[in-house]
A and B are shown apart, each in its own frame.
Chain A
Amino acid sequence: MKKLITYLFFMSVGLFLFGCDKPAPTEFFNDSSEAEYEILSKDINNEYYSNGFDTTGVTQDITGLANIIALSGIKVTGINDQTDRFSFAQTIFFDKSKPILYSDGRLLAYETITPGIIKFDNITARKVLFRIRYRDNGVLRDTLLGKKYVLYSGRHGGMDQFHYRYDSFINFKFHLVPGSDTEFNIPTPEEITGTVNIMGKRAAGNLRALLRWNKVGNKKIIIVIGARLRDRQIIMPLYRVRTKDDGELLMPARFIYKIPLERFDRLVFTFIRRFEHFEQVNDNNDLYISSQSIHSIVVNIP
């Protein structure tokens, strides 16, 4: 019996020494919804970053762009659950030879030009001043870049007869003066309609936002999360999430409860379903075309 127990002991030791592997792991490929997070406003004191985040919901660093054609069908749902609809179209041509710089020499933007006549669906776009606000060395500044082409209709002063048609086309015409005409159709996406459900409690650290929208397909949508500065009543875009157009996204708790309450009082979730096209003609004549359905939803931070 002692012999048997001795054998068993040595067998056990041997098994430990030579059999100490572990079962193989299972590796999954990613076929689930994806969310790509990007910071939009690195300096949350800089109004420059709020420029693009107007009712269009477009947040663009215009330093990297050449010429822009942007069409938007916009809905804004306020904290009273009332939804306003807007249509917006704009074209901006930059003169890359005339940069505007910060005082420290960094590029802020370029001056704009209006070289002809722009029409959307045969409605001539108006030329309006294009100003941006930015903070330079801690001082709030306001600068005029030039003019841009705009059509706008909506609740507040909707003087243009332009109406963004979803899941369709909008005709674009450009008459260069002097020069020839350019005309093409810009497709529009299906209208996006989102909902925001804030769950959990900030005190418990489990504050999450369940975002739902009408899913369309396998393409991606963008959700911009912004917050309203408590003191200046302006909305800062904070993060951009690029995710599948699959109808649902659960924003992790940390993205919500980390937002400092003492500086922000409201959240704005902007759902953007966009068609975009970028055409590189030459260094000075790149063309960026975007056509988007936008739904912004304003909620109080719980």
Chain B
Amino acid sequence: MITSINIFSQSSFGFNGYWGLSPNYNTPLYSFESNPSNYSHLKDWGFSFVYGVEFSGKLNSNIYSISLSKTLGSHNLSARFTPGYQKEFLFNTGESIIVEDSTSQSLTADFTYKELFGLGYSYKFSDDLNVGFTFRFFNQNFNQEIVTPVFDDTLYLVRESINEDVNFWKGDLGVNYMLNNNLSLTAASVNLLNFGEKASNPDFKDFEIKREIGALIGIGWMPAEPIGVNLIYETSSSFQASLNAYASNFGFGLTIFHDKLQLPYIAGMVPSVSYKGDIFELFISGVKYFSDRKVKHGVSSFLNKGISNVINNPYSFDKVLLTVSFNINTVAEKAVKFIDVEIVKDIYPTFTGNYINYPYAYGTVVNLTGEYITVKPSSKIEGVNEGKIQSPISAIAPYDTARIPFYIIIPESYKSEKTSLSYADFYVETKGDEPDDQFQKALLVNSVNSWDGRVSNLRYFIRKDIDFSMNHAKEILSKHKSELDTLPNVLEIFYEARILFNDFVSRLVYISDPRATGEYVQFPNQTFELKGGDCDDLSVGYSSLLESIGIQTALVDYKTNGTVRHVNVLFNTKLSPDQASLITNNDTKYFIRESLEGKDEVWLPVETTSLTDFETAWSDGADKFNKEAISNLGIATGKVEIIDVY
């Protein structure tokens, strides 16, 4: 006669044995039994199935489980379908009835316990700390023949079947902590949360799975690199101990387990061998019980002792199992990582060439792999660039840290006249199209008229508006076509420069820089539009006019006036020193510079702020140049600098 049984739902036994947190493999971690906290090494998607053969007297093969796992940043989600996690018991209930012909008919029962599926979630707070939970759904099907008396005019017995499905969820919480690379700890609940149905038929109430609350604690220790030792202990006094070894792509594990409801004391072992490929893991494992599992059991042991576990109990058969897992990375694995990014230059949008030739930022990047890697850096400034601008590729040694330069291109179309605080996104890629890492940093994007005070950068203003200057210069010179046509060719440049300057000064007045707090340089069209400017604006404007018609110019940077710098213009007449007398007999009014071809050429200094006429401006420019650059040895001492526009 059935009275009651004690069935405990799953605890820590898994078909691949116990591998602790298994630093080299993810496959054992699909076991919600030994990994209630859903700890995972996956970077992206994972898929696993367990297929096995059971030696129950005949070979019986089936799928035990199919698992899917996905990592999203620090989150991991898992789902497991377990069609093979079930145990069916067939037995006579011990009841029989005497029927009309005095024969006896026995009544039978069929009880099936199943774990149908499970869900898991975990959050990795850091590389050391992981917390998660798993929920599993169980079904219990009770099917039993009973005999019931019926009191009517006559009393008779009715033989009937009663059936009931009882479903419930059980959930557990767990935490994993890596003390260091060699020591890890796991703690989890057993049967902490239970909810669902209860058997309504009194005949089955005593046969429901008992869900007594407990806990388990696991420790993984790797005394030497290729060897790991693991122990997991449950408060029910059951435990598993395992030894794992790793060699190249292969692994070996041997787990022994003690179950308080199974004999002998060490109830069995789970040996396993494994192979790890690039994207898959293969486990072949066996479950060998040390008691004879083919012997027929009396129902009394089942009724009195019950079972402790759906997949591991005194009536479980020996098994051989094949587990295949795939680690599918649709997201590239991070090979490099930013430590910091340093902005070394604010952005002056007009200085386009400045950022192509010189980096505006440096990223400190670490190689996370044990191999040499090449890193493709790129960056993008919000509001300036539409796409990422590639910087030169760099190589980084294994586990080394490198300082990687970032360059940028300012598009011609950028015309913002307002200075703004923006930010730049920096990327490093090693393979594929997805960056391994990215970093964002704020930076100042100045207006297109902003200037950093370095005279050498005025050339960008000269070049920027060259189309306007060319049209303007041609328009002016066309008015003096007859005059120019009568001149000897060698003097053409001199007279063109003279005509353009005289027209220039006739339209403009000197106006000091309107920006009190920063340098501001007008483009030539703005200078003409505003009808004036300071020395920077006037030098830029005049130089641009000359350059637009092919007259070579240079800016003279006078740094001698304390905080107030001055700039004026030199232009190349293309006259040789012998021909200088064609324009002046005063050798202090010109300056000889050697061309790239090695020829001496006559350059004339022009003081663009001297808005009277060309001769005066030339004379003033020459006076200043002779005094500051020559007499006071400005060029020799670096206090005066000549900067070629091209």
- Chain A positions within 8 Å of B, measured between CB atoms, are 1, 4-5, 8, 11-12, 15-16, 19-39, 41-45, 200, 205-206, 238-239, 243, 249-250, 252-255, 258-260, 263
- The docked-state distance in angstroms from the alpha carbon of A127 to that of B304 is 53
CB of B598 closer than 8 Å to a CB of A: no
Known: A19-B61, A252-B203. A24 touches B56 (CB 8 A): yes
- The docked-state distance in angstroms from the alpha carbon of A15 to that of B67 is 13
Instruction: Judge whether A4 and B326 touch: CB under 8 Å.
Output: yes
Residue of B nearest to A37 (CB): B97
Residue of A nearest to B89 (CB): A26
User: Across chains A and B, which 8 residue pairs bring their CB atoms closest together, nearest first?
Assistant: A31-B298, A24-B56, A28-B299, A25-B88, A38-B98, A28-B91, A21-B62, A26-B315
Instruction: Judge whether A205 and B147 touch: CB under 8 Å.
Output: no
CB of B83 closer than 8 Å to a CB of A: yes
Instruction: List 27 A-B residue pairs with CB atoms under 8 Å apart, sorted by A's residue number.
Output: A5-B328, A8-B47, A16-B63, A20-B83, A22-B83, A22-B84, A23-B60, A24-B57, A25-B110, A26-B297, A27-B89, A28-B89, A28-B296, A28-B302, A29-B299, A30-B94, A34-B95, A37-B98, A37-B157, A39-B156, A41-B155, A42-B154, A43-B155, A200-B202, A243-B1, A252-B95, A258-B150
- The docked-state distance in angstroms from the alpha carbon of A135 to that of B60 is 61
Residue of B nearest to A31 (CB): B298
Nearest CB in chain A: distance from B195 CB, A: 23
CB of B570 closer than 8 Å to a CB of A: no
Nearest CB in chain B: distance from A264 CB, A: 9
- The docked-state distance in angstroms from the alpha carbon of A21 to that of B104 is 34
Instruction: Judge whether A8 and B326 touch: CB under 8 Å.
Output: yes
Instruction: Judge whether B146 and A31 touch: CB under 8 Å.
Output: no
Instruction: Judge whether A250 and B296 touch: CB under 8 Å.
Output: no
CB of B66 closer than 8 Å to a CB of A: yes
CB of B54 closer than 8 Å to a CB of A: yes
Instruction: Judge whether B297 and A4 touch: CB under 8 Å.
Output: no
- The docked-state distance in angstroms from the alpha carbon of A162 to that of B130 is 84
Instruction: Judge whether B328 and A4 touch: CB under 8 Å.
Output: yes
Instruction: Judge whether A32 and B63 touch: CB under 8 Å.
Output: no
Known: A19-B61, A25-B88. A45 touches B203 (CB 8 A): no
Instruction: Judge whether A238 and B149 touch: CB under 8 Å.
Output: yes
CB of B92 closer than 8 Å to a CB of A: yes
CB of B148 closer than 8 Å to a CB of A: yes
Instruction: Judge whether A36 and B63 touch: CB under 8 Å.
Output: no
Q: Inside 8 A of B303's CB, which chain A residues have their CB? A: 32
Instruction: Judge whether B95 and A43 touch: CB under 8 Å.
Output: no
Given A21-B61, A23-B84, A23-B86, output 18 extra A-B contacts at Cβ < 8 Å. Answer: A12-B49, A19-B62, A24-B57, A24-B58, A24-B60, A28-B92, A28-B296, A29-B298, A31-B298, A32-B298, A33-B1, A34-B94, A36-B96, A36-B104, A37-B95, A37-B157, A200-B202, A263-B151
Q: Inside 8 A of A38's CB, which chain B residues have their CB? A: 97-98
Nearest CB in chain B: distance from A271 CB, A: 16
Q: Inside 8 A of B47's CB, which chain A residues have their CB? A: 8
CB of B90 closer than 8 Å to a CB of A: yes
- The docked-state distance in angstroms from the alpha carbon of A26 to that of B84 is 15
Nearest CB in chain A: distance from B523 CB, A: 52
Known: A36-B104, A39-B155. A239 touches B149 (CB 8 A): yes
Per the 8 Å Cβ criterion, residues 296-318 of B in contact with A are: 296-300, 302-303, 315, 317
Q: Inside 8 A of B98's CB, which chain A residues have their CB? A: 36-39
Instruction: Judge whether B84 and A238 touch: CB under 8 Å.
Output: no
- The docked-state distance in angstroms from the alpha carbon of A206 to that of B147 is 16
- Chain B positions within 8 Å of A, measured between CB atoms, are 1-3, 47, 49, 51, 54, 56-58, 60-63, 66, 83-84, 86-92, 94-98, 104, 106, 110, 146-151, 153-157, 202-203, 279, 296-300, 302-303, 315, 317, 326, 328, 330
- The docked-state distance in angstroms from the alpha carbon of A40 to that of B51 is 55
Q: Inside 8 A of B315's CB, which chain A residues have their CB? A: 26
Instruction: Judge whether A30 and B157 touch: CB under 8 Å.
Output: no
Interface centre among A1, A31, A44, A259 (most CB of B within 10 A): A31
- The docked-state distance in angstroms from the alpha carbon of A141 to that of B455 is 139
Nearest CB in chain B: distance from A262 CB, A: 10
- The docked-state distance in angstroms from the alpha carbon of A206 to that of B110 is 22
Residue of B nearest to A26 (CB): B315
Instruction: Judge whether B1 and A253 touch: CB under 8 Å.
Output: no
Task: Choose from A24, A42, A260 the contact partner of B156 (Cβ within 8 Å).
Answer: A42
Q: Inside 8 A of A1's CB, which chain B residues have their CB? A: 328, 330
Task: Choose from A19, A25, A35, A263 the contact partner of B90 (Cβ within 8 Å).
Answer: A25
Instruction: Judge whether A258 and B296 touch: CB under 8 Å.
Output: no
- The docked-state distance in angstroms from the alpha carbon of A16 to that of B81 is 12
- The docked-state distance in angstroms from the alpha carbon of A30 to that of B296 is 10
Q: Inside 8 A of B157's CB, which chain A residues have their CB? A: 37, 39
Q: Inside 8 A of B104's CB, which chain A residues have their CB? A: 36
Q: Inside 8 A of A22's CB, which chain B residues have their CB? A: 62, 83-84, 86, 88
Instruction: Judge whether B60 and A258 touch: CB under 8 Å.
Output: no
Instruction: Judge whether A31 and B300 touch: CB under 8 Å.
Output: yes
Q: Inside 8 A of B63's CB, which chain A residues have their CB? A: 15-16, 19-20
Known: A23-B54, A23-B88, A238-B149. A35 touches B1 (CB 8 A): yes
Instruction: Judge whether A253 and B94 touch: CB under 8 Å.
Output: no
- The docked-state distance in angstroms from the alpha carbon of A128 to that of B151 is 36
